[in-house]
Amino acid sequence: MLFQSTPDILWQIEIRPDVFSQISDGTFQHIFSCGCHQMNIGIEKASALQLKLISKSFNIKQLTETCQSVARNCKEMRLTGTFILGGPKETLESIHETVEFSTQLNLLFAHYYPLELYPGTPAYSSVYRQNNKAWFDRIINDKLPWGENIYEDVNISFTQLMKLTHSAYRYFYGRCEWQELAKYHLGRNYEKVQMHVKSWLNDRFQLNRDDQI
């Protein structure tokens, strides 16, 4: 049995892109009628190679087609996506590809994260091996106010990565297409949310700090 209707409760789903891509048009409409008005998709990258390097895999074409289908057949459903910038073998070109890809999916919101190193992940192992103390010491001494350890290599430095993250937010939310979509979904709350989104350029990861950008 599918979800039971809960008209007085609104909720959202955190969902993997491979699972999202398998949902049929009718199921999206049913989920929406049961109170789920937003689906948050962990997309991360725009190429199969980059996905493989962070141990993820899904059909990018199928994801794109499903997002477009939702826009046509269940346009009231809000879609949001998260994206990771930086990582092994990442280049400026592949980052731009990911950001451009994010604008093609009819997303109401997109969030861009510089790749952060956590114990147990492939990226962490490639940098620290088993040297957990070095990781801990770097976090303690890191100037970043949110206390995360950011991946960087010879291709893209930490400073470049933060600039690219800043630019991604500015580009995505500066488009006329986003403004039109946001007005449709947000109605009278559009102006308020737009001001909140603009603040991300200043305080998302402290992107306005002169020593970072």
Q: Whats the size of the chain, residue-wise? A: 213
Q: What is the pLDDT of residues 88-102, one digit of tens each?
A: 889 999 999 999 999
Nearest 10 degrees: Cα torsion 149, 155, 159, 165: -80
**171 C-beta neighbours (distance < 10 Å), count:** 17
Mention every residue, 6+ apart, whose C-beta is less than 8 A from residue 137: none
**68 C-beta neighbours (distance < 10 Å), count:** 13
Select the more confidently predicted residue: 68 or 199. 68
Q: What are the structural domains of the chain?
A: 11-115+154-205 (3.80.30.20), 116-149 (no CATH)
pLDDT band at 125 (very low <50, low <70, confident <90, very high): confident
Q: What is the pLDDT of residues 57-100, one digit of tens each?
A: 999 999 999 999 999 999 999 999 999 999 988 999 999 999 99
H or E stretch including 35? Answer: none
User: Which residue in the block uniquely carries the two structure tokens 């049995």?
Assistant: 1
